[in-house]
Chains A and B, each alone.
Chain A
């Protein structure tokens, strides 16, 4: 959709925009916008394709959710795609390590909008039982935005399915006319998340200023001492 279309949709929700007489007699315009939302969201919600990002133990429960007994295809999540380009939902299932967050951020950047991230399991949410370890990221949301958190270690398949239902609710709540809830129709393209660098420890480019400040104070302290 182009920006002008976005503007059109935006106008639909604007109370000050005059409504043509002919249209007014057929439908009420506010509900027309809502109707569009409903149809559009219905379609999106029932065809969410998850990405097969199996990181650790939780991935096995994700596979269990995808296969015979729990069958997430009932929610329109037909296939677990291995490629980020074909996926709408990143299910980060398992422990996110510092070494792995680099490819994960890249994968996230490669997913096309609208995209959602579901953090499955204590590890992906906040480091889980391995949080204290030196090579574990304390939560996926330290690097990329996460929409749904599904706690548990591991969450049972039913708990994950509940997470999908929450995602559906979230999608249903999004309105095409509201740029805050659907950032992908804004005029400027979405910005990529900067990819972390593996240095002596992991470096998030967004924290570079902190790091610089810390090293200068350290060297100053060194110099003064």
Chain B
């Protein structure tokens, strides 16, 4: 497994690392010198070598994201490009490795051997882009089903309801005769079949492929129990949505577990590439639907990075940044409270802790609703600031002021919420649950993820930090006004369910600490602009280039890889979803435990399907 090497190079800047790569692999590594792009393009034949060198010698041991870009018509030979963002766990910017392959015979060596965290991401690239990874242990479709026709993210693949390459569509104005998309399809549905498809005698591969992979049948050895393959989900109360697992059991013990996803695959990337940059903002709300504010923030960061490549760029104002941090940290508390509630659900305390968590959630949502207009789908951040200033008052709720019932003043509401209500809720959760014997019995020592495995599997967020890696994007590659704020990166060392539970409590406490520092900033900056530059632009100009904006979301590191060709729409828009990649380690955590522990382990990773499947 990956050995975490701490060597002198870790302190040298990225440039040094690139120099060493060039020196070591002369001829096989060249810089990506397109304007606005960074990183190195690696000869695909030596990709594994370069990756191993970057990991072991240069210290870039953490693979954050691996994704493919289709440069149809944008580069010579219309290649497909695989982009790997690797990080040093000491902090600092990414070393970006890129490898190209021709689209007709798209093949690249698999990096699962170097970073096991590439596993699902390579499967996704195969599924959606059609790049074959040689040496991948299980290269099957992951989001679509086996047997699906084509690789949908390729630019020349068109779906059944395809209308135009980019939005806005011409058919909407000025001659916008309304019609539903299904009216234009011969089947009246969102379907399209290949012309040579013969229905008779067709056998669906979707389910068959799943069970073929699981070792079925009776293996009687020394009167041991039989193996059984159990399919759990997608309709199951404890899978946190439409998630499915194919578990192979030996008696009650898990010997193999294959996560099956894609039941909520909503083509976020494909739609995102058709949308204009701003159109994507409300779509990001629907990724991790508990944390729409944080998703907005990550996307705004990515696009602002791109905008910074241009000439006239004004960074968000201080007030805008303060409001963003306020929103994001409130979201973190909200998410963690509910995550603990759901974890307890999975442990058998059916709904009661969740009910209490939801009271606090509702109170935070009241604030979100009054500020942004919607409880869950906030769509609040814009490139360069936020959409509106904080409201005067929070309608619908009231406080007693001098014994008179008054609508809440916003600052009053926030002060009460942050200084009084939320700390009390966190303490109550702590008192109630932390020493509860059922929880300690079922959580301590179960589902252990070691530090090395956590890094290798690209785990992120609380899952990574509960395994003893103090890696937090807010500190490792600071953004927004986090450098001005005082807080600690919570870290726990056992990597079991219990530590993943505790670390959420720790993080909530740190969030409260941050929020307490934000309140005076909000008071001070009252009346200052909350938006930089000209507001009211529905189509801001984004220069060509690439950006990888990442934010520390409650569930882990959320990254947006955005490539712009200078037009209205992103050329490539990819979401590095923490829940999706955290699942890579699920099988490892579950092996050897009982079936009942699986739901608890899954609950402790805290996934949300909107983000897993996108």
A and B touch in the complex (CB under 8 A): yes
CB of B609 within 8 Å of the partner chain: yes
**Distance between B174 CB and nearest chain A CB, rounded to angstroms:** 22
Residues of chain A within 8 A of B152, CB atoms compared: 134-135
Asked if A67 contacts B355 (CB within 8 A), the reply is: yes
Select B375's contact among A59, A94, A156, beta carbons within 8 Å.
A156
B206 within 8 A of A: yes
Q: When the two chains form their complex, are residues B197 and A55 in contact, meaning their CB atoms are under 8 A apart? A: no
Instruction: Assess A64 versus B358: contact at CB under 8 Å? Given A53-B235, A200-B148.
Output: yes
**Which A residues touch B242, using CB under 8 A?**
54-55, 100
18 CB-based A-B contacts, threshold 8 Å: A54-B242, A56-B286, A60-B289, A64-B358, A67-B351, A126-B180, A127-B190, A131-B181, A131-B190, A135-B144, A156-B375, A199-B193, A199-B202, A199-B204, A200-B149, A200-B194, A215-B196, A215-B199
Select B359's contact among A69, A134, A142, A218, beta carbons within 8 Å. Answer: A69
Q: List chain B residues, Cβ under 8 A from A68.
A: 355-356, 358-359, 362
Residues of A close to B351: CB separation below 8 A: 67
Stretch at the interface among A3-11, A13-21, A205-213: A205-213
Interface string of B218-244 (1 = CB under 8 A from A): 000000000000000011110001100
B142-156 toward A: CB 8 Å interface, digit per residue (1/0)?
Answer: 011101110010000
A36 to B161, CA, bound (A): 49
Chain A residue at smallest Cβ distance from B169: A132
Asked whether A197 is an interface residue with its Cβ less than 8 Å from the other chain, the reply is yes
The A interface is mostly helix, strand or loop, or mixed, namely mixed
Nearest CB of B to A58, in Å: 9
Known contacts A138-B181, A201-B148, A211-B193; A56/B610 CB under 8 A: yes
A133 to B268 alpha-carbon distance, docked (Å): 8
Knowing A69-B358, A100-B264, the reply to whether A218 touches B147 (Cβ < 8 A) is no
A197 to chain B, nearest CB (A): 5
How close is B251's CB to chain A, nearest CB, in angstroms?
A: 25
Contact with B along A144-169 (1 / 0, CB 8 A): 00000000011010000000000000
Please name 8 further chain A to chain B contacts, defined as beta carbons within 8 Å, in addition to the given A99-B262, A133-B266, sorted by A numbering: A56-B266, A59-B241, A67-B355, A94-B264, A100-B234, A135-B267, A153-B377, A156-B375
Binary B-proximity of A42-72 (CB < 8 A = 1, otherwise 0): 0000000000111111011101100111000
A135 touches B265 (CB 8 A): yes
- In the complex, A176→B359 CA distance in Å? 42
Write out the residue numbers on chain A whose beta carbons fall within 8 Å of the beta carbon of B355. 67-68
**Known pairs A53-B235, A64-B362, A69-B359; A97 contacts B148 (CB<8 A):** no
Please determine whether A95 and B264 come into contact, CB atoms closer than 8 angstroms.
yes
Given A56-B609, A60-B290, A64-B362, are A197 and B204 neighbors across the interface (CB < 8 Å)?
yes
Contacts of A97 on B, CB cut-off 8 Å? Answer: 262-266
Which residue of the partner chain B has the closest CB to A127? Answer: B190
Is B362 a contact of A201 with CB atoms below 8 Å?
no
For the complex, give the distance between the alpha carbons of A57 and B145 in Å. 22
Asked if A193 is at the interface (CB within 8 A of a chain B CB), the reply is: no
Q: A60-B289, A198-B145 are in contact. Are A136 and B266 (CB under 8 A)?
A: yes
Q: Closest residue of chain B to A106, judged by CB?
A: B235
Name A203's contact: one of B143, B144, B180, B199 (CB within 8 Å).
B199
How far is B252's CA from A60's CA once the two chains are assembled, in angstroms?
32
The verdict on B8 contacting chain A, using a C-beta distance below 8 Å, is no
Closest 10 CB pairs of A and B: A133-B267, A200-B149, A134-B159, A57-B289, A82-B237, A198-B206, A130-B266, A100-B263, A67-B358, A218-B195
CB distance A138 to B182 under 8 Å? yes
Residue of B nearest to A104 (CB): B235
Cβ A211 vs Cβ B290 within 8 A = no
Q: Does B399 contact A (CB under 8 A)?
A: no
> Which residues on B are within 8 Å of A, measured CB to CB?
143-145, 147-149, 152, 159-163, 180-182, 186-200, 202, 204-206, 234-237, 241-242, 262-267, 270-271, 274, 282-283, 286, 289-290, 351, 354-356, 358-359, 361-362, 375-377, 609-610
Beta-carbon contacts under 8 Å, A186-225 to B: 197-204, 207-208, 210-212, 214-215, 218-219, 222
Interface contact A56-B359, CB-CB below 8 Å? no
Q: What's the nearest-Cβ distance from chain B to residue A222, in Å?
A: 8
CA distance A129 to B279 in the complex (A): 11
Report whether A154 and B197 are in contact in the complex, using a CB–CB cutoff of 8 Å: no
Closest to A94 in B: B264
Q: Chain A residues near B192 (CB, 8 Å)?
A: 201
CB A115 to nearest CB in B, in angstroms, measures 15
* Residue of B143, B180, B189, B200 with most partner-chain A CB within 10 A: B189
Q: Name the contact of B181 in the complex, choosing from A98, A129, A132, A218 (C-beta under 8 A).
A: A132
B162, B192, B286: residue with the most chain A Cβ atoms closer than 10 Å: B286
| Complex Cα–Cα for A82 and B262 (A) | 20
Quick check: A214 and B193 within 8 Å, CB to CB?
A: yes
Chain A minimum-CB-distance residue to B160: A134
Q: What's the Cα separation between A186 and B376 when bound, in Å?
A: 44
* Contact in complex: B267, A201 (CB < 8 Å): no
A17 to chain B, nearest CB (A): 44
Nearest CB in chain A to that of B266: its residue: A130
Residues on the A chain within 8 Å of B181, using CB:
127, 131-132, 138
Q: Is the CB of A134 within 8 A of B362?
A: no
Is the pair A211, B199 in contact by a Cβ cutoff of 8 Å?
yes
Report the Cα distance A52→B197, complex, angstroms: 37
B143, closest chain A residue (CB): A135
Is A171 among interface residues, defined by CB-CB distance under 8 A? no
Max chain A Cβ within 10 angstroms of own Cβ: one of B145, B196, B200, B262: B145
Return B573 CB to nearest CB of chain A, in Å: 14
- Selected from A59, A136, A218, the residue in CB contact (under 8 A) with B190 is A136
Query: Is A214 in contact with B186, judged by CB distance below 8 angstroms?
Result: yes
Give CA–CA (A201, B149) in the complex, Å.
7
State A57–B241 Cα separation when bound (angstroms).
10
Contact residues in A for B205 (Cβ distance below 8 Å): 198
A173 at the interface (CB under 8 A from B): no
A-side contacts of B354, CB under 8 Å: 63, 67
Contact assessment for B197 and A199 in the assembled complex, using a CB-CB cutoff below 8 Å: yes
User: Are A103 and B235 in contact, CB atoms less than 8 angstroms apart?
Assistant: yes
Q: Which residues of B contact A138 (CB under 8 A)?
A: 161, 180-182, 189-190
Q: How far is the CB of B166 from chain A (nearest CB, A)?
A: 12
- CB atoms of A212 and B199 under 8 A apart: yes
Among B236, B283, B376, point to the contact of A61 (Cβ < 8 A): B376
Kindly state the separation between the CA atoms of A126 and B375 in the bound complex, as whole angstroms: 22
